[in-house]
Amino acid sequence: MARKQTSSVLGIDIGGSGIKGALVDTVKGELTTERHRIPTPQPSTPDAVAEVVLEIVRHFDYTGNVGCTFPAVVRRGVVYTAANVSDAWIGTDADALFERVTGQSVHMLNDADAAGVAEMTFGAGKGQDGVVMMLTLGTGIGSALFTEGILVPNTELGHMELNGKEVEPRTSSKAREDKGLSYKKWGKRLNKYLAHLEFLFSPDLFIIGGGISKKSEKFFPYLKTEAPVVAAEQRNEAGIVGAACTVSRTKA
How many domains are contained in the chain?
2
The predicted model gives 90-116 an average pLDDT of 97
Indicate if the pLDDT at residue 92 is higher than 60. Answer: yes
Q: Same domain, yes or no, for 167 and 224?
A: yes
Q: Same domain, yes or no, for 98 and 133?
A: no
Residue 134 φ/ψ, nearest 5 degrees: -105, 135
Residue 236 is predicted with a pLDDT of 83
Q: In the 8-state DSSP scheme, what is residue 221?
A: G
CB 17 within 8 A of CB 235: no
Asked if residue 118 is part of any domain, the answer here is: no
Q: Same domain, yes or no, for 105 and 17?
A: yes
Q: Same domain, yes or no, for 142 and 201?
A: yes
Residue 7 is predicted with a pLDDT of 65
Q: In the 8-state DSSP scheme, what is residue 4?
A: P
How would residue 1 be classed by pLDDT, with cut points 50, 70 and 90?
Answer: very low
Asked if residue 82 is part of any domain, the answer here is: yes
- Summary mean pLDDT of the chain: 94
Q: What is the CA radius of gyration of the chain?
A: 18
Instruction: Supply the pTM of this predicted model.
Output: 0.93
Q: Same domain, yes or no, for 223 and 183?
A: yes
Where in the sequence is the domain holding 195, given as residue range(s)?
126-232
Asked if residue 120 is part of any domain, the answer here is: no
| Interatomic CA distance for residues 228 and 67, integer angstroms | 31
Q: Same domain, yes or no, for 56 and 98?
A: yes
| Interatomic CA distance for residues 32 and 11, integer angstroms | 11
CB 92 within 8 A of CB 81: no
Residue 85 is predicted with a pLDDT of 82
Residue 12 is predicted with a pLDDT of 98
Question: At 59, which CATH number?
Answer: 3.30.420.40
Tell me how far apart the 2 most distant CA atoms of the chain are, in Å.
53
Q: Same domain, yes or no, for 16 and 77?
A: yes
Asked if residue 78 is part of any domain, the answer here is: yes
Q: Same domain, yes or no, for 19 and 52?
A: yes
- In 3-state terms, what secondary structure has residue 168? helix
Indicate if the pLDDT at residue 230 is higher than 50. Answer: yes
pLDDT tens figures, 14-71: 988 899 999 999 999 999 999 999 999 999 999 999 999 999 999 999 999 999 999 9
Q: Percent of the chain scored above 70 by pLDDT?
A: 97
Asked if residue 209 is part of any domain, the answer here is: yes
How would residue 3 be classed by pLDDT, with cut points 50, 70 and 90?
Answer: very low
Q: Which residue has the higher pLDDT, 230 or 17?
A: 230
Residue 191 is predicted with a pLDDT of 98
Q: Same domain, yes or no, for 18 and 80?
A: yes
Asked if residue 162 is part of any domain, the answer here is: yes
Q: Same domain, yes or no, for 99 and 168?
A: no
Q: In the 8-state DSSP scheme, what is residue 202?
A: -
Q: In the 8-state DSSP scheme, what is residue 43?
A: S
Helix %, strand %, coil % of the chain (to 5): 40, 25, 35
Asked if residue 141 is part of any domain, the answer here is: yes
Indicate if the pLDDT at residue 244 is higher than 60. Answer: yes
Indicate if the pLDDT at residue 4 is higher than 50. Answer: no
Asked if residue 49 is part of any domain, the answer here is: yes
Q: Same domain, yes or no, for 65 and 145?
A: no
Q: Same domain, yes or no, for 71 and 137?
A: no
Q: Percent of the chain scored above 90 by pLDDT?
A: 89
